[in-house]
Structure 1
Amino acid sequence: MSRTLFFAILASAAALLACPGTTNAKEPAMTTETRTPLKPGKSGLLPINGLNYYYAVYGKGEPLLLLHGGLGSTDMFAPILPKFAENRTVIGVDLQGHGRTALGDRPFSVEAIGDDMADIVKALGYDKVDVMGYSLGGGVAFRMAVRHPEMVRRLVLVSTGYATDGFYDEMRPQQAQVSAAAAPFMKDTPMYKSYVAVAPHPEDFPKLLDALGNFMRQNRDYSADVPKLKMPVMLAYGDSDMYKPEHEIKFYQMLGGGLKDAGWMRENLSRNRLAILPNRTHYDVFFAPELTAAALPFLNGETKVKSWDEVVGETE
């Protein structure tokens, strides 16, 4: 594999991991130097369905399950985690084969991992949580919300799609080539360095790439499941994300948003939200302050936005 081809594959794999049925190979994972300085109040390993999942709990308040992107860990959210933990109990989980959670021998599947997340939430003593997932974590959050809707109060999907055809066309052939063969080229990348710094079995890195590659070669379309998301949903993307803009808009419309004018008094406003963050890409949207500013009011069920009529009334 040439180095040029490797980096093309690596970039394309990152986009695929934003899909509910796929996984990412080039999201910028935090290095050991930038790992979150916020210390968890509780952390450990939970035996769930044949895997030992690492979890960490931060802050106090309404529970929020926070799910990271491919080839990363909860540490990816270091810049924004403290803000979420100010008034919330944030539950970070390292997904199968990522961070401090070993890959194990079980096939890699967002359906199964979504079920695992529901079991983790129960094991930690929660009946219902808000869920926010980025990229691969967004895919897991999507599947958890479809399969366990009674456990998800509000849902935020960051850089997440509902089908693999939402990616730019040139990426799919490159994604198909992701495998253990890429491992030697990744020794100097932050993804590899952060992985070996905390992984219980660092030697499993090539196996993880094989598992993700096998997973990514599958075509997936969850459009039939989108209407099953009955809880309030926010979709968030960078304006230069890895999904086609028309895919993002269609996802929002499938959720009932963007189908008509909201009305003078906002009477037709959808309860779901679409956030397009300017000057953001797939690789930096997950730690953007603008993401926190958009997601927190939504998760809290708050809005400070007033209709024009209300604003005019206040000035009279």
Structure 2
Amino acid sequence: MVRFCRVNDINVAYTLSGNGPPLLLMHGAEGSHRMFDQIIPPLAEHFTVIAYDQRDCGDTENPESSASLFDLAQDAEALLRALGYRKANVYGTSFGGRVAQVFALCHPESVDRLVLGSTWPLPHALDELNGDAVKEIATLRGRLPESAEALAEYFFPPSFLNVQPHLKDIFKSARPESERSQRRFRAVGDCPALDPGDVAAPTLLIAGELDRVVPAQLTTGMATMIKDSESIVLDGVGHAGCLQAPDVIARHIRRFCISTAKSGA
């Protein structure tokens, strides 16, 4: 059931599932809390899972002004406090991993263990690190809906799409540009001058072997920056790992966070 919490002049839409130490989930650029539908059940057996919609996403209602990564991190902190938690494990995927990095750097006291999936390091923009793919994705977006299948193959391996062809519909039904989507685009482009090497929380880096959006080495390379970290590459998985391998990712999150779990209300 979707609930709402008023923080920072925003009505944040969120769901709360399970029992145990809190685990805050941060979705990708054009996603919502619904991208975690498959991974929440196995996680909820061990955690109190908090999945929410960031500004200009899903059901969250917010002012008609652009947000920075600092704003998004502040929203996450305010939501956590409003729900009665002082500290949580955090899992951020894709752009959500960028929000999670800022959250961990600006609010280190609020993060127990950090899991970053298919993301890239601050302060770099993705077009600096994977420029050809970013340009091609933009071109394909401009040719929707006829380019839906080619665009889907950037996020999911063709073999997976053959088994789950309905995922192509995500791109076929993509909404035309709106003021909301433009604000979100500007938020995604924010590159604050923060150093991932300053992350204090123990960190697990999860990458997809076949990720064309954020190649695996961009994610696993952060292990050389974050002192207390480990990295995993998932065989046969593309960018949206939560949809392709939810049980596998949930297992890694459980192992990493529960081994020395310290989170609590």
User: What amino acid is the match of 1:237?
Assistant: A
Distance 1:231 1:168, change over 3 A: same
Measured in 2, the distance between the counterparts of 1:209 and 1:285 equals 23
SS of the aligned residue for 2:231 comes to: strand
Distance 1:104 1:174, change over 3 A: farther
**1:105 counterpart residue number:** 64
Measured in 2, the distance between the counterparts of 1:44 and 1:228 equals 34
Corresponding residue to 2:50 among 82, 86, 91: 91
Is the CA contact 1:183–1:206 (under 8 Å) kept in the aligned structure 2? no
Q: Provide structure 1 residue ranges, at least 5 long, that are not aligned to the other structure.
A: 1-39, 197-203, 257-270, 303-316
TM-score, structure 2 as length reference: 0.77
1:13-162 aligned at under 5 Å gives the runs: 40=1, 43-162=2-121
Measured in 1, the distance between the counterparts of 2:17 and 2:244 equals 17
1:127-168 Cα offsets, whole Å, 9 max, x none, are 101110111221111111110000000000111111225642
Report the CA distance between 1:286 and its aligned residue.
4.9
SS of the aligned residue for 1:240 comes to: coil
Distance 1:245 1:138, change over 3 A: closer
Computing the radius of gyration from Cα coordinates, the structure with the larger value is: 1
Matched, 1:211 2:197: no
Measured in 1, the distance between the counterparts of 2:229 and 2:139 equals 36
SS of the aligned residue for 1:56 comes to: strand
Taking only the aligned residue pairs, the percentage that are identical comes to: 26
Report the CA distance between 1:221 and its aligned residue.
6.7
Distance 1:185 1:214, change over 3 A: farther
Is the CA contact 1:176–1:213 (under 8 Å) kept in the aligned structure 2? no
Matched, 1:247 2:250: no
Matched, 1:164 2:136: no
Measured in 1, the distance between the counterparts of 2:140 and 2:188 equals 8
Which deviates more from structure 2 when the two are superposed, residues 109-118 or residues 165-174? 165-174
Report the CA distance between 1:109 and its aligned residue.
1.8
CA RMSD across the alignment: 3.0
Is the CA contact 2:27–2:96 (under 8 Å) kept in the aligned structure 1? yes
Which deviates more from structure 2 when the two are superposed, residues 105-114 or residues 205-214? 205-214
SS of the aligned residue for 1:61 comes to: coil
SS of the aligned residue for 1:281 comes to: coil
User: What amino acid is the match of 1:212?
Assistant: R
Report the CA distance between 1:103 and its aligned residue.
4.8
Corresponding residue to 1:272 among 229, 233, 238: 229
**2:240 counterpart residue number:** 283
Distance 1:213 1:228, change over 3 A: same
Measured in 1, the distance between the counterparts of 2:147 and 2:63 equals 22
Q: 4+ residue runs of structure 1 moved beyond 6 angstroms?
A: 175-179, 181-188
1:45-102 Cα offsets, whole Å, 9 max, x none, are 1222122111111011111011112222111111111000012100111111111113
Measured in 2, the distance between the counterparts of 1:89 and 1:57 equals 7
Q: Provide structure 2 residue ranges, at least 5 long, that are not aligned to the other structure.
A: 149-167, 261-265
**2:170 counterpart residue number:** 190
SS of the aligned residue for 2:78 comes to: helix
User: What amino acid is the match of 2:224?
Assistant: Q
Measured in 2, the distance between the counterparts of 1:185 and 1:298 equals 42
User: What amino acid is the match of 1:208?
Assistant: R
1:247-294 Cα offsets, whole Å, 9 max, x none, are 3343111113xxxxxxxxxxxxxx521010000000345551221122
User: What amino acid is the match of 1:252?
Assistant: A
Is the CA contact 2:5–2:79 (under 8 Å) kept in the aligned structure 1? yes
SS of the aligned residue for 1:157 comes to: strand
Which deviates more from structure 2 when the two are superposed, residues 116-125 or residues 235-244? 235-244
